[in-house]
Structure 1
Amino acid sequence: MSSQFELAQNPTEHISAVKFAPDSSTRLLVSSWDRNVYLYDTHAEPGGKLLQKFQHRAPVLDICFGRDDNEAFSCGVDWDVRRLDLNTGEQTVLSSHQQGVRNVIFSSKHNLLVSGSWDCTLHVHDLSSDNWATIQLPSKCFSLSVSPSKLVVAMSTRMLHIYQLSDLAQAVAQSNAPAPNIVQVNPWQQRESSMKYMTRAVACMPNDAGYASSSIEGRVAVEWFDPSEASQSRKYAFKCHRQTVDGQDIVYPVHALAFHPVHGTFASGGGDGVVALWDGVHKRRIRQYQKFPASIGCMDFSGDGKYLAVGVSPGFEDGMDDMPDGVVKVFIRELGETEAMGKGASKK
């Protein structure tokens, strides 16, 4: 059986990210344009319980958990990458970019924290030391995702850089200083998006085989890391998040992608307020959920794959310039046992 509920105490402005804790399927971080990061226990009481709120100087664009369920990192329009101690509430600035910071992501396997900014740089922090380094990008960072061994950086020019995390770790170790040393790390692969329009989101497959990316023009592409011709011939893109209104095809941006950690299927969320589940290997849609009240901005599966968090905020797709009260919502969906299974998967 699946069920869904809305968090009782939601942010007041656009939700930029939702992230589950690595070891708890009920501990959730939410970042918002209202300049706050919210920490919830989604099941402590009906509608969830707001445990703590972390105020920032400007809108927060992304968050992630760190080495455990009490360490988190945030970034945003104030240019800073911050460490949040979820126990004490203490905030520490780790580094500052030269423009807004769009994404922050943690690789537990390599103990690396990576932030991507509109200043066309990545900051790579080794959390086991004070060392960090700056890597120059050819254009603005729009989305980051990590697999067990790779970092995928999607940029404003429709370019994607794929780095080996081991190369980044080595570069930071050799930078040998707690200073913003600019280091040269060549991407393992450079690719151009197989979609014609601007990339909106990227998400890596949990099995380290490849990634999915989405565009502002209602499309998702699925690609594999293996550079062999046979593997590259498998890549494809498909249309989604479109509606026919009065005989016209209305196309919506696909703002969010998230892979299921157990089954390897993925969810897409669009400006049409729809979340769909896909089997990327067998090229089929598994299911589409009942429409949410506004645009889907972000999503995340819990580490055990039992829950899906969905951040809903009115966007330009909804024709709203001013944000009315009560329209920004976080939904928690409990997935049925076979709900996110791909084609040919069987119950254990």
Structure 2
Amino acid sequence: MTLVPSIGRELSNPPSDGISNLRFSNSSDHLLVSSWDKSVRLYDAKADDSMRGEFKHGGAVLDCCFHDEYSGFSASADHKVRRIDFNAGKEDILGTHDEPVRCVEYSYAAGQVITGSWDKTVKCWDPRAASGPERSQIGTYKQPERVNSLSLVGNHLVVATAGRHVNIYDLRNMAQPEQRRESSLKYQTRCVRCYPNGTGYALSSVEGRVSMEFFDLSEAAQAKNYGTFATGGCDGFVNVWDGNNKKRLYQYSKYPTSIAALSFSRDGGLLAVASSYTFEEGDKPHEPDAIFVRNVNEVEVKPKPKVYPNPPA
């Protein structure tokens, strides 16, 4: 692990090709990383010899998520959804899609794995069932276009597809979306992430804009606070924003290349940054892929109090 104070600690043994996603565990400082080099890797973000294990798949791994501290699930371009166990050193096929699997989430509320694919479907799986799609698949739900991203909070599932479609489901009743929306952003959705407090979600698009949305469409709900959040761009910068005042709170020093993914640790004290060229300018020479972990200071993420002028005497 190399220490670069301005951008954080660089983890050893990074993937050899583009990093598709990284995520902190909800119960530790373990970090799960998926890559176009067909690997899923487990790291200890605080250890010098940080890599704890690796699985190789039959195609690029486009997403990953934790189940518990040492196990999780992966979404692969070979159309397969896998369950991976680093402690036991084994994996099995949970199910398949007809096209590459773009994203995967595990719902602690429902005890289900949810996957989104370029075959224009979302599928739900029961990981407690015996191996094989015939046993573990709960349901298949058609989408208007290819699934680009999905996110969960409580029983809310938000699915963002090509064509700027957004479908919002209740996991307890997946027959139909609770809401069908269109992104308020002009260009293709890149990522969707639900607010931790369960009130809504943030959408980002390929041109670098972010939209903050609430599940409740009433005027009272729309007046609620957003909180703070972080974004990473193809320019190599990570910015922290005050969503309420729509102002940037902090900008970290520039990373070697594009920011492919970000993840905060469970307590918000660490930020993992995937510095990985995303081919926004085509195939060209670029810096090697790298994973950095930096400490988050309160001054970087705490909104500044408003200063009101003194009332006239």
Alignment of 1:16-31 (within 5 A): 16-25=20-29, 27-31=30-34
Aligned-partner SS, 2:274: strand
Aligned partners of 1:90 and 1:145: how far apart in 2? 27
Correspondence for 2:15 among 11, 28, 42: 11
Q: Stretches of 4+ moved more than 6 A in 1? A: none
Measured in 1, the distance between the counterparts of 2:113 and 2:123 equals: 8
Amino acid at match of 1:81: V
For residues 248-295 of structure 1, what are the alpha-carbon distances to aligned partners after superposition, in whole Å with 9 as ceiling and x for unaligned?
xxxxxxxxxxxxxxx952111111111111122332211111111111
- Residue 160 of structure 1 corresponds to 166
Aligned partner of 1:192 in structure 2 is: 182
Q: Are residue 295 (structure 1) and residue 258 (structure 2) matched?
A: yes
Q: 1:2 to 1:149 in 2, by over 3 A?
A: farther
Which residue, 210, 215, 224 being the options, matches 1:225? 215
Q: How do 1:259-338 and structure 2 match up within 5 A?
A: 264-317=227-280, 319=281, 321=283, 327-338=288-299
**Quick one: distance in 2 between partners of 1:23 and 1:64?**
13
- 8 Å CA contact 1:13–1:323 kept in 2: the answer is no
Paired residues, number: 296
Shift of 1:216: 1.1
Gaps (5+ residues) in structure 2? 130-135, 307-313
Partner of 2:309: none
> In the aligned structure 2, how far is the partner of 1:57 from the partner of 1:17?
18
Aligned to 1:38: 41
Q: Which residue of 1 aligns with 2:64?
A: 63
Residue 149 of structure 1: how far off its partner (Å): 2.8
Q: Secondary structure at 1:98's aligned position in 2?
A: coil
Question: Which residue is equivalent to 1:143?
Answer: 149
- Once the two structures are aligned, what percentage of the paired residues are identical? 43
TM-score (ref. length: structure 1): 0.80
**1-structure distance, mates of 2:22, 2:127:** 22
Q: Tell me the equivalent position of 2:91.
A: 91
Q: Is the 8 A contact 1:3 1:334 kept in 2?
A: no
Matching residue of 2:133: none
Q: Aligned in 2, Cα 1:341/1:331: closer, same or farther, shift over 3 Å? A: same
Alignment partners' CA distance in 1, 2:52 and 2:285: 25
Q: Sort the Cα spacing of 1:233 and 1:41 in 2 relative to 1 into closer, same or farther, 3 A.
A: closer
| 3-state secondary structure, aligned to 1:157 | helix
Q: Deviations over 1:85-130 (max 9, x none)?
A: 1111211111100000100011112212100000000111133444
Any idea what SS the aligned residue of 1:231 has?
A: helix
Change in 2 beyond 3 A, CA 1:321/1:2:
closer
Letter aligned with residue 46 of structure 2: H
Measured in 2, the distance between the counterparts of 1:316 and 1:94 equals 31
Report the TM-score, using the length of structure 2 for normalisation. Answer: 0.88
Contact map agreement 2:24 2:265 (CA 8 A) in 1: yes
